[in-house]
């Protein structure tokens, strides 16, 4: 077994490490293609996000939601094309860990914003004066 | 790299290998998957830590205490360059990990060098932005908004700085020790780390910069 072979065939086992790609036999060309597609999609989404943030073509109040949706889409592109997280059966552990991470992130973000919004509603002096 | 050295490196951590797969490469793949998975768990915990900083920032973003707001401080053209640098460096890092797995020197060292230069360019722009803000009295002590801003964006910048040091270490280790399995596992972990930094930057340029200026 030559050095090059050893480097390219790390995927005889049925699981994937995150960041690794499925073995096919044309690793360099196919690997490059994946990264190029990812780069193109990410650049496209980024450009749209920067455009939307500065335009008056889109209804103003919808801009924050649009930006959040674009950001989540771009994170998905990075996860799939750069970190190679897929829904395949060899990726279950990675996806489960990711799902747990996303759950915690969601709880921290939404929980903090929800609680602090309610506190602001009921505790700011200005609000009490107006009420 | 000789087969003997390769086997020794595998033998150091072969506890995950089942007796039914005595083949050296199966054992090797096991170890690579375990290490990658463990580092993925660490990265997710790092993302959870960042989510707390994001929550803090989102809560405090309007508390400017009479000081400057994001709309007055942020320059989206600089942010666009930072974003482009980091995205391209993430791509170059992907090319480098292909080069490492295929044992191609030119591809690995070239792409790693490009990754490092783009990362350094990002860091230069970010430090220049911070210095400029502090110079006009908009430092972290000015308002709760700016404290949260410097904590969140500065923490990401710190990660990029550590990542750059790690990157140079990985170039030196491959140069000194060759494409050994244990070195390749470290390259894998570094690539995961670098890609994750770009994911966090996506959240930062959206939540901090674009929403700060647009909303």
CATH number for B171: 1.20.120.80
| Identity of the residue in A8, A53, A83 whose CB atom sits nearest the CB atom of B102 | A8
Please tell me the predicted confidence (pLDDT) of residue A123. Answer: 75
Minimal-distance CA residue of chain B relative to A104: B48
Do the chains contact at B36 and A20, CB–CB below 8 Å? Answer: yes
| ipTM of the complex in this document | 0.83
In the A/B pair of chains, how many CB contacts fall below 8 A?
174
**A-interface mutation test, from B199, B201, B213, most A Cβ less than 10 A away:** B199
- Using a CB-CB cut-off of 8 Å, the residues of chain A touching B25 are 1, 6, 9-10, 12
Which residues span the domain enclosing B170? 75-215
| Stretch B58-75: mean pLDDT | 92
- Using a CB-CB cut-off of 8 Å, the residues of chain B touching A29 are none
Give how far Cα A118 sits from Cα of A19, A111, A122, A124, A131, Å.
Answer: 41, 11, 6, 10, 15
| Stretch B145-158: mean pLDDT | 97
**Are the beta carbons of B152 and B53 closer than 8 angstroms?**
yes
Does residue A127 have a pLDDT over 90? no
Minimal-distance CA residue of chain A relative to B17: A13
| Identity of the residue in A7, A52, A74 whose CB atom sits nearest the CB atom of B102 | A7
Does residue B97 have a pLDDT over 50? yes
Please tell me the predicted confidence (pLDDT) of residue A30. Answer: 82
Give the Cα separation of B56 and A116 in Å (integer): 10
Please count the structural domains in chain B.
Answer: 1
Give the Cα separation of B190 and B212 in Å (integer): 31
Six-digit token pair at B151? 């904590």
- For residue B90, being part of any structural domain is answered with yes
- For residue B19, being part of any structural domain is answered with no
Do the chains contact at A35 and B55, CB–CB below 8 Å? Answer: no
In a 3-state reduction of DSSP, which class is residue B210? helix
Do the chains contact at B29 and A13, CB–CB below 8 Å? Answer: yes
Minimal-distance CA residue of chain A relative to B90: A82
- For residue B70, being part of any structural domain is answered with no
Give the Cα separation of B203 and B155 in Å (integer): 13
Do the chains contact at A32 and B203, CB–CB below 8 Å? Answer: no
- Using a CB-CB cut-off of 8 Å, the residues of chain A touching B201 are none
Sequence-distant (6+) residues with CB within 8 A of B80 are: A50
Which DSSP string do the residues of chain A spell out, in sequence order? --HHHHHH----SS---TT-----S-HHHHHHHHHHHHHHHHHHHHHHHHHHHH-SSS-GGGHHHHHHHHHHHHHHHIIIIIS---SSGGGHHHHHHHHHHHHHHHHHHHHHHHHHHHHHHHH-HHHHHH-
Do the chains contact at A20 and B32, CB–CB below 8 Å? Answer: yes
Does residue B5 have a pLDDT over 50? no
Does residue B150 have a pLDDT over 90? yes
- For residue B8, being part of any structural domain is answered with no
| Stretch B118-139: mean pLDDT | 96
Minimal-distance CA residue of chain B relative to A114: B59
Do the chains contact at B202 and A38, CB–CB below 8 Å? Answer: no
- Using a CB-CB cut-off of 8 Å, the residues of chain B touching A72 are none
Please tell me the predicted confidence (pLDDT) of residue B80. Answer: 96
Give the model confidence (pLDDT) of A25-62 as tens digits.
567 888 899 999 999 999 999 999 999 988 878 887 88
Please tell me the predicted confidence (pLDDT) of residue B13. Answer: 33
Please tell me the predicted confidence (pLDDT) of residue A124. Answer: 62
The larger pLDDT score, comparing residue A72 to residue B32, is at A72
């Amino acid at each position: 077994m030559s050095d090059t072979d050893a480097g390219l065939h790390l995927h005889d086992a049925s699981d994937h490490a995150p960041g690794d790609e499925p073995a096919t036999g044309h690793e360099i060309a196919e690997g490059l293609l994946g990264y190029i597609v990812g780069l193109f999609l990410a650049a496209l989404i980024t450009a749209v996000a920067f455009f939307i943030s500065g335009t008056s073509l889109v209804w103003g109040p919808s801009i924050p939601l649009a930006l959040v949706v674009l950001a989540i889409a771009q994170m998905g592109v990075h996860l799939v094309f750069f970190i190679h997280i897929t829904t395949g059966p060899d990726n279950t552990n990675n996806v489960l860990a990711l799902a747990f991470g996303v759950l915690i992130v969601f709880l921290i973000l939404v929980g903090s914003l929800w609680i602090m919004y309610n506190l602001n509603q009921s505790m700011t002096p200005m609000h009490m004066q107006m009420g | 790299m000789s087969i003997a050295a390769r086997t020794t490196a595998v033998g150091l951590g072969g506890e995950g290998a089942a007796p039914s797969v005595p083949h050296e490469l199966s054992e090797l793949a096991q170890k690579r998957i375990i290490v990658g998975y463990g580092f993925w768990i660490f990265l997710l915990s790092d993302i959870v830590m960042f989510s707390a900083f994001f929550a803090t920032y989102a809560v405090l973003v309007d508390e400017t205490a009479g000081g400057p707001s994001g709309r007055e401080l942020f320059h989206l053209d600089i942010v666009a360059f930072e974003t482009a640098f980091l995205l391209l460096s993430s791509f170059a890092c992907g090319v480098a990990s292909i080069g490492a797995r295929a044992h191609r020197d030119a591809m690995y060292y070239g792409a790693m060098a490009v990754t490092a230069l783009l990362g350094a360019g990002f860091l230069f722009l970010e430090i220049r932005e911070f210095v400029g803000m502090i110079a006009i009295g908009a430092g972290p002590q000015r308002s709760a908004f700016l404290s949260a801003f410097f904590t969140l964006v500065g923490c990401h910048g710190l990660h990029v700085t550590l990542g750059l040091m790690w990157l140079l270490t990985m170039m030196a280790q491959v140069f000194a020790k060759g494409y050994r399995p244990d070195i390749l596992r470290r390259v894998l972990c570094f690539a995961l780390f670098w890609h994750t930094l770009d994911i966090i930057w996506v959240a930062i340029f959206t939540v901090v910069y674009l929403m700060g200026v647009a909303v």
